[in-house]
Structure 1
Amino acid sequence: MYSNVQAQDELVPGSQLTSIFSNYEVLTILGEGTFGKVAKCVRMADKKTVAIKVMKNYSVEVANIEVAMLYMLSMHNGNKHNLVEWYQAFMDRGRPCLEFEYLDKSLFDFMRERHFQPLSLMEIRPIVMQIAIALKHLKSIGIIHADLKLENVMLVNHQQEPYRIKVIDFGLAHVTSAATVGSCLQTSPYRAPEIILGLPFTEAIDVWSLGIIAATLYLGFLLYPGYCEYEMVSKQYP
C-alpha cells in the first residue's frame, strides 16, 4: 500500500497536506503518539473540518494494518455503532495519512479539564452503554480493538450532544481469529489479565478495558496505574 520515502516537511499549524482529492491546511496539532501526530485540518475542496492522522515515514507497516481494519469497518457501516467515521488514506511526501471525521475531545482531555473530578452515574451510564454497543459490533464482525482507553474514546460534540461518544484508533486492532498468545497489546493500566499472563485471549479483553474506563470516570483515578505489569499487579487497596 505504502512505500518508505523520507519526508522532511514538519507538521505544524499553517503547513499543507495533499491528497489526490484535495489540499488540507493544518490548523492545530491535536495530539502526538509513538507513530505520528493527529492534526485538525480544513479540507480545502469543501472547507470541511477533518482530523488527519499523519504517521511517521517508518510507520508504514503500522499504517497498513490500521487501514486494513478501517476497510473492514467501512464495509459494515461502523459509524452507526459509535465508531469514528473514516474517509480515506493517502500519502503526503512519504507519510501515510488517514483522514477521519473531526470529533470534539477525548474522555482523557475532558477529565483533565475537570481536574479528574468524578462523573455522576447518570453521566457515566450513557458513555458505557455507547462503548458497549461499539464493542458488540466489533465482536460481531470479528475484530478486537486492543487499545481501548480514555484517550481513544472521543466526545463527538459535548456542547451540542453531551456525552455522545465514538471509539477511535484501530492501530492495534486484531482479527479475533488471528489472536496470537504472547501479543503485546493494550496500554498498561487497561491491560487485561489474559494479556499480562500470556494466555489465549478474545474480544473480552476490550470489555476489561471498558470496566477500567467506567471505574476511572467514577473514581477520578486509574484502578491499576503503572508503567509496567509488575506495578499493576502489585497495586494494593485498603
Structure 2
Amino acid sequence: MSRKGNRQTEAFELRVGSELVGSKGVYIVKEFLGEGGFGKVAKCSKLWSLEYYAVKIMKISREGQKEFEKMKMIQDLDPDENHLIKMYECFTYRNMTCIVYELLEVNFHDSLMNEQQLVPLCYIRVIAQQLLKALKALKSIGVAHCDIKLDNIMFEDLNDMNVKLIDFGLAVETNELLTGTKIQVTQFRAPEVILGLPLDESVDMWALGMVLACIYCGYYLFPSSTEYETIRAMVQIFGLPEADSVSQSVSQSVSQSVSQSVSQSISQSINFHLFSFYLFICSFHEN
C-alpha cells in the first residue's frame, strides 16, 4: 500500500488519544463531543498545557475551507464582545482539516432536555439581548449564519447565562443568498425560505425568534412534518394579509389560498421578525 494510502487510512482511524499537530501546538483527543456529515468535534487538551479546546475535524474539502474563511472574518468582530465562538487556528493534518475553537459548556438543546421547569422570562431576555448583539455584528460584515437552532447556541458559563453562537459551517455572505435556496432545519426555517422568496439576513432573526419561543414554551412553535403544515400554522398566528400583496415568486407547490394568506406576513427586514416574536411572547405572558 502506498504511503498516501496509509495516511488516508489513519485519518479515518481517529480515536481517543490521537494527536493532531497544529501550527500553535499539539492537540490530544480526550473525547468526542459530536459527529455529523461534516466530520467530528473532539474535546482536546494541548500538549504541555492545562488548556482544553473543541476541535472540529473534517476531511479536507471546500466546506472546511469556507468555514475557516468565514471564521477569519468573524474574528475581527471581537467574539467575546459579540457573543460569537472564538477560533484559535486552522490547520491540515493527515488529510484532515482541523479548526480549533474555544471549548464551551453545553448547548441549548441539551440544557433544555435536562431542565425540569421552563426557563424564566427574565433569563430569556438576557439570552435574547446577547444573541441579537451577535446577529447585529454579523449583519455589519454582511454574513448570515443560516443555521441558527438550539444545538448551535452554547453557554460559555452557566453561572452567568453568557451564551455564544457557534457552527458557521453553513454561513454565507448575505449577497450570496439566492432566491429559492433551501437553508435552515424545518423547525426554525423562515417563511421566505419555504416560499422561495428573496432572502437576506432576516432569516437568522426568524430562526432566533423560534429558538426563544421554544425556550419559553418548552416545545417547537410550529409543526414540521411538512412545509405546508408549517406555513398553515404561521398563518393561524400572524393572520391573513391582503390578497393583492401576494408575491409572484411564491413557490408553486403551496396552494394559492395559503400563499395569499402568508405573503404579507413575510418581511424582508429584521425589525418585522423581532416585532412578531415580541407580540407572541407578550400574548403568552399575559395569559
**TM-score if structure 2 supplies the norm length?**
0.74
Residue aligning to 2:189: 191
Partners of 1:146 and 1:186 within 8 A in 2: yes
Partners of 1:22 and 1:45 within 8 A in 2: no
Equivalent-residue separation in structure 2 for 1:230 and 1:112 (angstroms): 28
SS at 2:161 equivalent: strand
In structure 1, the gaps of 5 or more residues are none
Residue aligning to 1:206: 204
> Aligned pair in 2 of structure 1 residues 7, 191: CA closer, same or farther (>3 Å)?
farther
Q: Deviations over 1:35-89 (max 9, x none)?
A: 111111101143311100111x2x6111111111111111232332000111111
Count of residues paired in the alignment: 229
In structure 2, the gaps of 5 or more residues are 1-6, 238-287
Partners of 1:108 and 1:151 within 8 A in 2: yes
In the alignment, which of 216, 236, 249 is matched to residue 218 of structure 1? 216
Q: Which amino acid aligns with 2:101?
A: F
Residue aligning to 2:281: none
Equivalent-residue separation in structure 2 for 1:88 and 1:51 (angstroms): 11
User: Which range moved further: 39-48 or 99-108?
Assistant: 39-48
Which of the pair has the greater relative contact order for Cα pairs under 8 Å at 6+ separation? 1
Equivalent-residue separation in structure 2 for 1:7 and 1:149 (angstroms): 34
In the alignment, which of 179, 182, 193 is matched to residue 181 of structure 1? 179
Equivalent-residue separation in structure 1 for 2:147 and 2:114 (angstroms): 23
Partners of 1:50 and 1:100 within 8 A in 2: yes
Matched, 1:25 2:23: no
> Aligned pair in 2 of structure 1 residues 231, 37: CA closer, same or farther (>3 Å)?
farther
Equivalent-residue separation in structure 2 for 1:46 and 1:217 (angstroms): 37
Partners of 1:105 and 1:154 within 8 A in 2: yes
Equivalent-residue separation in structure 2 for 1:231 and 1:11 (angstroms): 42
What is the percentage of aligned positions where both structures have the same residue?
37
SS at 2:62 equivalent: helix
In the alignment, which of 165, 176, 179 is matched to residue 167 of structure 1? 165
User: Which range moved further: 41-50 or 215-224?
Assistant: 41-50
Matched, 1:50 2:17: no
Equivalent-residue separation in structure 1 for 2:45 and 2:125 (angstroms): 34
**TM-score if structure 1 supplies the norm length?**
0.89
Q: Which amino acid aligns with 2:204?
A: D
User: Which range moved further: 93-102 or 10-19?
Assistant: 10-19
Matched, 1:142 2:142: yes
The structure that has the greater radius of gyration is: 2
Whichever structure has more helix as a proportion of its residues is 2
Residue aligning to 1:120: 120
Equivalent-residue separation in structure 2 for 1:121 and 1:17 (angstroms): 43
Matched, 1:90 2:91: yes
Equivalent-residue separation in structure 2 for 1:227 and 1:142 (angstroms): 32
